[in-house]
Amino acid sequence: MSQLTFTVNGIKVYGNRHEPLLTQLEKAGIKPEYQCRNGICGACRCKLISGSVTQQDALAFIAPNEILSCCSIPQQNIEVHFDYQLNTEHQATKTKIAL
């Protein structure tokens, strides 16, 4: 079993390849917005900056560089960005991104 690293708005958390990203972030104490949890509303969308996910078919409109965190399963280390300040209970240190 291999552990993945997710960088979410500069916060690093660890996860797996078998659960939706939204579920994993919630378990890590990060609380993205959501409504339907099945690809219809688009509330959970975020930008995929690097890495790849497997995304189930969904009805919500998303831009080409976006994913729906409720129905996307990470396949490798990923970096994502939500366009709002996340409600978080996460205790991890923020990572610095070299520009």
User: By C-beta, is 17 or 37 nearer to ligand FES?
Assistant: 37
Assess 73 for contact with ligand FES (CB under 6 A): no
Query: Among residues 15 and 42, whose Cβ is nearest to ligand FES?
Result: 42
Q: Measured from the CB atom, is 82 or 92 closer to ligand FES?
A: 82
Please provide residue 3's backbone torsions phi and psi, each rounded to the nearest 5 degrees: -90, 140
**Tokens standing for residue 42:** 């688009």
According to CB under 6 A, which residues from 5 to 64 bind ligand FES?
Answer: 34-37, 39-44, 60
**DSSP conformation class of 96:** P
The residues pairing with 98 across neighbouring beta strands, listed in sequence order, are none
Altogether, the residues listed in the chain come to a count of: 99
Among 30, 70, 78, 86, binds ligand FES (CB under 6 A): 70
Tokens 């078919």 sit on residue: 57
Size of the residue set binding ligand FES (CB under 6 A): 13
Say how far apart CA 80 and CA 50 lie, in whole Å.
7
* Residues of the shown chain interacting with ligand FES in the complex, contacts defined by CB under 6 A: 34-37, 39-44, 60, 68, 70
